Amino acid sequence: MSDKKSIVVFGGSFNPPHNSHFSTAQQVLNQYEEVEKVVFIPVNNKYEKSGLEENEHRYNMLKLVIDKNSNFILSDIDMNGKRALYTIETLEEIQKCFKDKQICFLIGSDNLKELHTWKRAEELLSKYKILVMGRNEDKIEEIIEQNELLKSYRENIRKLEEGIRSNFSSTYIRTQIKKQKSVRYLMPDEVYNYIKTNNLYIE
């Protein structure tokens, strides 16, 4: 990815966090020796997304797991603001914390398709490395070829190893909870117990 040591930024709603989130982060650490840490950044609930649980709960669920892994860092940088941060703003703030590191942003191939429409997209692509995780049957090379901006910064876009992918979603988990089905083995026990104790996602 880079000659410099890297910090991978893993943003998301984490609504709720589940095994695929944590296993993806650990696989990235395993695959790429230059990656020192993975920073989890849950989005602010001011973000326009329906059914987003309160900041406090999503932060607490992540913290229960992340505190047990010295290679994971939890940041509330987006949650602290009066509005949801743009991705470029988040990465700039993380870069200030790790001045001598290469900042890499982890996204799914579904987001790669829309990246050219994001705020200050060219600056984002020129300053930071983009790590892309395959979703469904997406062909990452084709997505890049179909967009001039992505093609211009192809060297900063890297497809993750084929085995690194998220195989189920938070949406699926929330649906199962509403149906009163067990989700115990889809997430760490700490998160499962927190959801049960606080009666989350049943409405």
Name all domains of the chain by residue range, CATH numbers in brackets: 6-167 (3.40.50.620)
Is-above-0.75 flag for pTM?
A: yes
Q: How far is CA 47 from CA 12, 31, 51, 173, in A?
A: 11, 32, 11, 20
Q: What's the pLDDT score for residue 164?
A: 62
Q: What's the pLDDT score for residue 12?
A: 93
Residue the block writes with tokens 């406090």: 56
Residue the block writes with tokens 């692509």: 125
Q: Is the pLDDT of residue 108 over 80?
A: yes
pLDDT in tens, 3-21: 689 999 999 999 999 999 9
Helices (H) and strands (E) in the chain, counts: 9, 6
Q: What's the pLDDT score for residue 47?
A: 79
- What is the arithmetic mean of pLDDT over 163-183? 85
User: Residue 160 CB: number of other CB atoms within 10 A?
Assistant: 20
Q: What's the pLDDT score for residue 163?
A: 62
User: Residue 115 CB: number of other CB atoms within 10 A?
Assistant: 21
Identify the burial level of 89 via C-beta atoms within 10 angstroms of its C-beta, where 0-12 means exposed, 13-18 middle and 19 or more buried. middle
Q: What's the pLDDT score for residue 2?
A: 57
Q: How far is CA 122 from CA 70, 116, 152, in A?
A: 33, 7, 9
Q: How far is CA 147 from CA 61, 68, 115, 140, in A?
A: 37, 41, 10, 11
CA 112, CA 71: separation in Å to the nearest integer? 26
Q: Is the pLDDT of residue 84 over 90?
A: no
76 vs 83, higher pLDDT: 76
- What is the arithmetic mean of pLDDT over 180-187? 94
Identify the burial level of 134 via C-beta atoms within 10 angstroms of its C-beta, where 0-12 means exposed, 13-18 middle and 19 or more buried. buried
pLDDT in tens, 113-143: 999 999 999 999 999 999 998 887 889 999 9
